[in-house]
Structure 1
Amino acid sequence: MPLDLHVFRTLSDNAGALLHDPASGACAAVDVPDAGEVLAAARARGWTISDVFITHAHHDHTQGVAAVKQATGARVVGPEDARAAAPLDRVIGEGDTVSLGQETFEIWHTPGHSDGHLSYIGLGSKVALVGDVVFVMGCGRVQPGQMDAMWTSLSRIMALPGDIRLVGGHDYTLANARFARSVDPSNAALSARFAEAETAKAEGRFWALTTVAEEQATNPFFRAGEGALAAAVGRVGAPAAQVFAALREAKNKF
């Protein structure tokens, strides 16, 4: 039986996400930007949070974890560098697995945005929890000196099957779409998605859920190996990692 997935806005643009296993009743919160909002979202669906999966240690992803653990007794797992920010029951890293009901998530170390950043890859449920590595039509900011690490992390995620759903950590979708269109103006799929992003913003819809295939078609950071993107940042013939770095620097200044 597949997992139920609910993605919603918390704080101003953070993504709250709940994964629920109907067979066992187990429910995982993915990070906890705001404890009250995450607990309310679970109550509204009749779910009880049993687990918290932390993607990375940044305050806007961990500040509500202790309160959720206190309210529910949830088991908390996450990277070593989140230990000071949240009450971890288990430290996890590259090569580990985490279970929710019958689903097993592979744990990938995906640094670049933060040193200990983890992604949770659920091939059975076709969902990957990618935190601040991948956003809809974008990617997270990169720590100084970590461009190569971020490119490696993105490359792993973009190689997943196209129907894998990606749960990102924020909704920056319209801003990302504007930048993507500026460097890839002839991409018809991107133009359509840009229009959708404008509509979503006007209607107040939250958008932090995408698929690998959709990002392969419209995300300039996924497409750094293509000539049109290299030309857009003056890196024709350069390796994809260098094109990615130039694209990310251009986005920082956009």
Structure 2
Amino acid sequence: MALDIVTIPCRTDNYAFLGHNPETGDTFLVDAPEAAPIVEELAKRGWSLKTILITHHHPDHVEGLPGILAAHTARVVGARADAHRLPPLDIEVAEGDMVDAAGEMAHVIDVSGHTVGHVAFHFPDSGVVFTADSLMALGCGRVFEGTMEQMWGSLSKLAALPPDTIVCSGHEYTQANAKFALTIDPDNPELKSRAEAIDLARSRNQPTVPSPLSLELATNPFLRAADPGIRRNLGMQTEPDAAVFAEIRGRKDRF
């Protein structure tokens, strides 16, 4: 049976996620931007939190942890490479490790780039991946600590997951990402349609996260460095994919 996934808006534009296994009754949390909405959602559903998966060290992904742990006794899982700047961890993980979360195995993927030590958690049995600020809806995280080549490698790992995988990313940036994506890939009919759907959803204050990986592969310019049309638009027909990605990311930084 697939996990029940609940998207929780936090702060001004963050998302946390609950994963609940209806067979075991166990629940995990991915990231802790803010305690109150997460604790309230757990109480409303009558769920008891057992595991907290942390993707990276930025404050808007960990600041809620003390308040959550005051209300729930849960083990905290995070990257070994980031342990020196994460809250205290009960379990340290690295790429290739697996950790039991609510009775399902989460596969750890190193997605460094936005930060060095950023990890994603892939649940292949339920077809969902929690990517935080690596792969995002119609975007990717700004490359703060790693290199462009590193970020491209991380995105390539995520792009290789099954296309029907649901991508749970960390922020509501999708409308702004769509405006930028249309400057890079203006002739993409799927992107135009998606941008219209995003505008409608946001006008109704509805989240645009999560999203299917298949949709990201078809519309997200940060996954489409090999696309001939994008390469023509950038005048980079013969450059390596990583260089095309770096140009796209640089343009987004200046957008």
TM band (smaller chain): over 0.9
**1:235 alignment counterpart:** 236
Matching residue's letter, 1:245: A
The change in CA–CA distance for 1:145 and 1:44 in structure 2 (over 3 A counts) is closer
Structure 2 match to 1:12? 12
Moved runs in structure 1, 4+ residues, more than 4 A?
none
- Superposition map of 1:71-110 within 5 A: 71-80=71-80, 81-110=82-111
**Residue 172 (structure 1) shift:** 0.2
What do the CA deviations read for 1:73-109 (whole angstroms, capped 9, x no partner)?
Answer: 1110001324433121111111111112331111111
Corresponding residue for residue 187 of structure 1: 188
Shift of 1:144: 5.3
Q: TM-score scaled by structure 2?
A: 0.96
Q: 1:145 to 1:114 in 2, by over 3 A?
A: closer
Identity of aligned residues (%): 37
CA deviation map 1:185-207 (0-9, x unaligned): 11111001000111111111122
Q: How many residues align?
A: 254
Equivalent residue letter for 2:230? L
The 5-angstrom pairing of residues 58-207 of structure 1 reads 58-80=58-80, 81-143=82-144, 146-207=147-208
TM-aligned CA deviation for residue 9 of structure 1? 1.1
**Is 2:230 the counterpart of 1:224?**
no
- Are the equivalent residues in 1 in contact too, given 2:116–2:145 (CA < 8 A)? no
Q: Contact 1:107 / 1:118 at 8 angstroms: preserved in 2?
A: yes
What are the Cα deviations for residues 6-40 of structure 1, in whole angstroms up to 9, with x where unaligned? 11211010011100011111111100000111111
8 Å contact from structure 2 (residues 112, 146) kept in 1 = no
In the alignment, the residues of structure 2 paired with residue 104 and residue 25 of structure 1 have an alpha-carbon distance, to the nearest angstrom, of 15
* Cα RMSD, aligned residues only: 1.2
> TM-score scaled by structure 1?
0.97
Query: 1:50 is paired with a residue of what secondary structure?
Result: strand
Residue 32 of structure 1: aligned partner: 32
Asked whether the 8 Å contact 2:116–2:146 carries over to 1, the reply is no
Q: Which runs of 5+ in 2 are unaligned?
A: none
Q: Tell me, yes or no, if the aligned pair for 1:56 and 1:82 is still in contact at 8 Å.
A: no
Relative to structure 2, which stretch is displaced further, 186-195 or 206-215?
Answer: 206-215
Match of 1:213 in 2: 214
Distance between the aligned counterparts of 1:55 and 1:82, measured in 2?
11
Residue type at the aligned position of 1:178: K
Separation in structure 2 between the aligned mates of residue 84 and residue 26 of structure 1, nearest angstrom: 28
Cα pair 1:8 1:206 within 8 Å, conserved: no
Note if contact 1:158-1:222 (Cα within 8 Å) is conserved in structure 2.
Answer: yes
Measure the CA separation in 1 of the matches of 2:183 and 2:165: 27
Aligned residues of 1:77 and 1:91 also touching (Cα < 8 A): yes
Please give the per-residue CA displacement for 1:197-235, whole angstroms capped at 9, x wherever unaligned: 111111111222011101011000111111111222232
How far the C-alpha of 1:66 sits from its partner, in A, is 2.2
Shift of 1:145: 5.3
Instruction: Indicate conservation of the 8 Å contact 2:9/2:16, yes or no.
Output: yes
Aligned equivalents of 2:99, 2:208: Cα separation in 1: 26
Code of the aligned partner of 2:108? I
How far the C-alpha of 1:183 sits from its partner, in A, is 1.0
Distance 1:225 1:237 in 2: 10
Cα distance in structure 2, aligned partners of 1:127 and 1:239: 30
CA offset digits 1:51-77 (Å, max 9, x no partner): 100011111001111221222111100
Does the residue aligned with 1:130 lie in a helix, a strand or coil?
strand
Taking the aligned partners of 2:114 and 2:62, their CA distance within structure 1 comes to: 15
